[in-house]
Chains A and B, each alone.
Chain A
Amino acid sequence: MNATLAPAIDDAAAEHVRTPWSEFWRKFRQQKVALVAAVFVALLVVVAVAAPWIVPYDAENYFDYDALNAPPSLAHFFGVDSLGRDIFSRILMGARISLAAGFISVAVGAVIGTLLGLLSGYYEGWTDRIVMRICDVLFAFPGILLAIGIVAILGGGMANVIAAVAIFSVPTFARLVRGNTLALKHLTYIEAARSLGASDRTILLRHVLPGTISAVVVYFSLRIGTSIITAASLSFLGMGAQPPTPEWGAMLDAARSDMLTAPHEAIFPALAIFLTVLAFNLLGDGLRDALDPKIERQ
């Protein structure tokens, strides 16, 4: 995204050169909600990384048989589940799984999708036709169905769920980047680069990619939210993380039988998923508003 050199006069801009970064930051920091979401996401990442060292109890192998289904207390902040495990510790460890699932799957999908989108938008012709046809086919399966199909072939487990989510992230990124590439490649600066003798590789990686990266970043953040929900849904269906793994969706599934007597077993994992996904979605919205030049015009 190029800095839009709007005639707006602004203290910071009067002294400094406006780089895309400073421009982005100027707009992003005005969005309080997105800033809070960004801080929350950062905290989550810290918790996820540090989880094994900060959990009060072992998430899988600690059983308090005297406190089965106990409600939240000082000893167990989020209570105890039906097997006597500390829910707070399991939620913290679950953050690791959910964030990793969301991040890895979308990252893989984004890298492959962006690459395919660049190639098919830039070269058009039959490269484009083949890539887009594959995307059409992938799009023809509703996301979770594709994931279930893949899990049915490869078997359950978190790694397969991540692979499945990655596969159906590919076409969205491919389409997005292809569209941008088609629009960008006719612009004068690309033509200038080509007339200077730049190779296709240089043009694509140094000139087209930076032009489309902001759209990819926005989509990345929004997509992580969806992917976390999909991964949790598959675990909820019993196809993802297997017990005793402290995955949030699997925890909710296990809590279903005790909803009447111990609702806290369902409330905390549900809240964990909700807040995490909400943070990524709000962050994505904020990024979009900060990166989209259309917004400023209005």
Chain B
Amino acid sequence: MAVLILGVGNILLSDEGVGCRTVEELEQRYQFPEAVRLLDGGTAGMELIGAISEADHLILIDALAAGRPPGTVVRVEGEDVPATFQTRISPHQLGISDVLAAATITGDLPASMVLFGIEPESMATGLALSAVVRAGLEKIIKAVVEELTGLGLPPLDLVDTVDGVDVVD
């Protein structure tokens, strides 16, 4: 089973980039099985259709402004994922909703989809995440690892302890 972990968002707008930042963190901390691909999609749209259509299972990570307390992480599943992007609460929903629509038509939509959304605190110009979203990012990382483990594709922790020594890639 091919899994795509796709983080989307704009890193120039602080918390808006949390999806991309999560992918960066995952890449630094873990080694993934060959069937798992990580992609920082930025705010791209149709350019992502190749990667999405090659996946059987899609894990999307994105900022989701829905009026919850900042840093709240939500999980959305299956058909509700494209629906979420159509209700226009992700600030760059146009790209993702276009690409999911196109994949629906061509029959290339991954068989299963999960979205981890995180409520942003700040979308001001700037490269840093807010502290509360930074904390939420840790929750997503944990959830993604659990998700992959459940699929029988657990990632290997790169910051592992061997004989009491930290081995860092």
Do A and B interact? no
